[in-house]
Chains A and B, each alone.
Chain A
């Protein structure tokens, strides 16, 4: 299966420059490059896919409307992913789905991760390795899972993830390192 070429930071800066100048083709290119990844990220917060799509489409629509004030020098990926996160947190707050979402993210420090073997034998052993990995990932704390997704699915840099999630680079490394160890434990 052919995947489109991955966006690069310098390529992105070119696109932003062109979008500022009103180039709709560049805007469409940016949209197509990031829409899937951003929606997959938003859906982690909102769980509802159509809500996630609406959020990301709204973000892009606003981006075009405000294109004259786009900052060419900042990192587009950090900007897009952190904008999605901020909007998603607002949606959740407004919907009172989980008033403590922010605190939930804080509580989700992998330091406190305890693998409680409720039914590990049933849940994990009967499915194949891929499904076991999926199940294990869903058991991780939210922030850990989000950081992993940004890093290993969307291929963001540590700095981009730190900017998106509002944590330090060291925090990002902690989530990745400890998360990987936790996964390994769960898959034993």
Chain B
């Protein structure tokens, strides 16, 4: 059980830090205090998302469409463009054919439109969100990740992922569940699996803990790779699909319990997770540094502790300037 350092800086210094107005000296004071314990770190680095009321997922697009309808700005809303000028008083003219058949047609179209409404769920830095979809599938979304899914599934089940998520799919042989992630398609064959699709890595990794998943590039005639429980594989942007013999599906899901686990992981991959966990940008001095590998794990530690540990282990250096961390060999 950690004890907070009794020398908490004056609240104004922490306040300045939290609104991005702290001087370099003040930042140093806060960071040193944070390094004293995980509780101190959390107080600063998790403050922003801890203040957001839980479970408030808003569909801003839908909200805008509702408001546009209310104010008569419909036409530009339907085109979904923010760059169009619409003068009030100009309504979209809907030509309504006469007859009951027409009324039915409109009702069906509206029903289909509502059924196909796309929801988007996003996790902020340090957040993990779990949701159950309309079909009973459970998604756990990692920090800094986004998933788009239809409010109701009609026929095929398809979701889009940017980032990392664990899927526990309700099996339905008639309607396979597919995850579209950057350039890859992972298709459920009855399972629990994790998809890691960090755009900057140029590949999508999939690890299966239960059941079976097929993985392929989204190009029309790409080959599929079938992954059984315990297996992990990846598909690169240029179409290579392969099994990862060293990767173990169980370690790919450590984040679900809040653990960051790295096993001879290149820093570029480590950075992909840390960016989203802490909501910062990470830049490497050169590709040689980004290729260095590290084996370690973290749980509650804050950004400073994580970077201190990694750079110490590898004999490299880092510098934090506001929202960006610069990692270098440190030789001056």
User: What residues make up the interface of A, taking CB atoms closer than 8 Å to B?
Assistant: 1, 22-25, 27-29, 31-32, 35-36, 39-40, 43-44, 49, 52-53, 56-57, 60-61, 64-65, 125, 128-130, 132-134, 137, 145, 148-149, 151-153, 155, 176-177, 180-181, 183-184, 187-188
Contact of B43 among A29, A39, A65, A187 (CB under 8 A): A187
Given contacts A24-B76, A130-B46, A148-B51, are A31 and B124 in contact (CB under 8 A)? no
The smallest C-beta distance from A153 to any residue of chain B, in angstroms, reads 4
**Residue from B14, B38, B53 having most chain A Cβ neighbours under 10 A:** B53
Contacts A128-B300, A176-B15 known; 18 new A-B pairs at CB < 8 A: A24-B85, A24-B88, A25-B82, A25-B84, A35-B58, A35-B64, A36-B58, A39-B58, A49-B56, A49-B58, A52-B56, A56-B63, A61-B67, A128-B258, A129-B46, A130-B42, A133-B50, A184-B43
CA distance A130 to B38 in the complex (A): 9
The interface bits of chain B over 83-124 (1 if a CB of A lies within 8 angstroms of the residue's CB, else 0) are 111111000000000000000000000000000000000101
B137 to chain A, nearest CB (A): 22
Cβ of A125: which chain B residues have Cβ within 8 Å of it? 1
Chain B interface residue count, CB cutoff 8 Å, equals 57
Which of B3-11, B204-212, B284-292 binds A?
B3-11
Sample (23) of A-B pairs whose CB atoms are under 8 Å apart: A23-B85, A25-B84, A25-B85, A28-B68, A29-B82, A35-B60, A35-B64, A39-B56, A43-B56, A49-B58, A64-B71, A129-B41, A130-B42, A130-B46, A130-B50, A130-B126, A130-B258, A133-B42, A133-B43, A133-B47, A134-B54, A153-B51, A184-B8
Chain A residues contacting B82 (CB-CB under 8 Å) are 25, 28-29, 32
List B contacts of A36 (CB < 8 A): 58, 60
For the complex of A and B, the 9 pairs showing the least CB-CB separation, nearest first, are: A129-B42, A1-B144, A177-B11, A153-B51, A24-B86, A149-B51, A61-B70, A133-B50, A64-B71
Residue of A nearest to B47 (CB): A152
Residue of B at shortest CB range from A187?
Answer: B39
Chain A residue contacts of B60, Cβ below 8 A: 32, 35-36
Give the docked Cα–Cα distance between A27 and B76 (Å): 12
Closest chain A residue, CB of each to CB of B84 = A25
Q: Does B18 contact A (CB under 8 A)?
A: yes
Which of B38, B85, B86, B88 is the one whose CB lies under 8 Å from A129?
B38
Q: What residues of chain A lie closer than 8 Å to B32, measured between beta carbons?
A: none
- Asked whether any CB of chain A lies closer than 8 Å to the CB of B276, the reply is yes
- Report whether B70 and A57 are in contact in the complex, using a CB–CB cutoff of 8 Å: yes
**A188 and B58 within 8 A (CB):** no
Q: Select from chain B the residue with minimum beta-carbon distance to A57.
A: B67
Nearest-neighbour CB distance to chain B for A127, whole angstroms, equals 10
Residue of B nearest to A179 (CB): B11
Closest Cβ neighbor of B122 among chain A residues: A1
- Rounded to whole angstroms, the CA-CA distance of A39 and B276 in the bound complex is 24
> Which B residues between 237 and 296 are near A, CB-CB below 8 angstroms?
258, 276, 279
Distance (Å) between the CB of A62 and the closest chain B CB? Answer: 9
Instruction: Provide the residues of chain B in CB contact with A39, threshold 8 Å.
Output: 56, 58
Distance in angstroms from B304 CB to nearest chain A CB is 14
B20 → A minimal CB distance (Å): 8
**In the assembled complex, how far is the CB of residue B23 from the closest CB belonging to chain A, in whole angstroms?**
18
- B285 CB to closest chain A CB (Å) equals 24
Q: How far is the CB of A121 from chain B (nearest CB, A)?
A: 9
**Chain B residues with CB below 8 A from A180, complex form:** 8, 11, 14-15, 43
B258 and chain A: residue at smallest CB distance: A128
The 0/1 profile, CB within 8 Å of A marked 1, for residues 22-57 of chain B is: 000000000000000011011100111111111110
Tell whether, in the assembled complex, residue A183 and residue B145 are in contact, meaning their CB atoms are under 8 Å apart: no
B331–chain A nearest beta-carbon distance, Å:
33
A40 interface neighbour in B39, B53, B299, Cβ under 8 Å: B53
Nearest residue, chain B, Cβ from A43: B53
Tell whether B173 is near chain A: CB-to-CB under 8 Å: no
> What residues on A are CB-neighbors of B63 within 8 Å?
31, 35, 53, 56-57
List of A residues within 8 angstroms of B258 by Cβ: 128, 130
Q: Which of A60, A145, A184 contacts B4 (CB 8 A)?
A: A184
Nearest CB on A from B51, distance (A): 4
- Inter-chain CA distance A29–B54, complex, in Å, is 25
Closest to B55 in A: A49
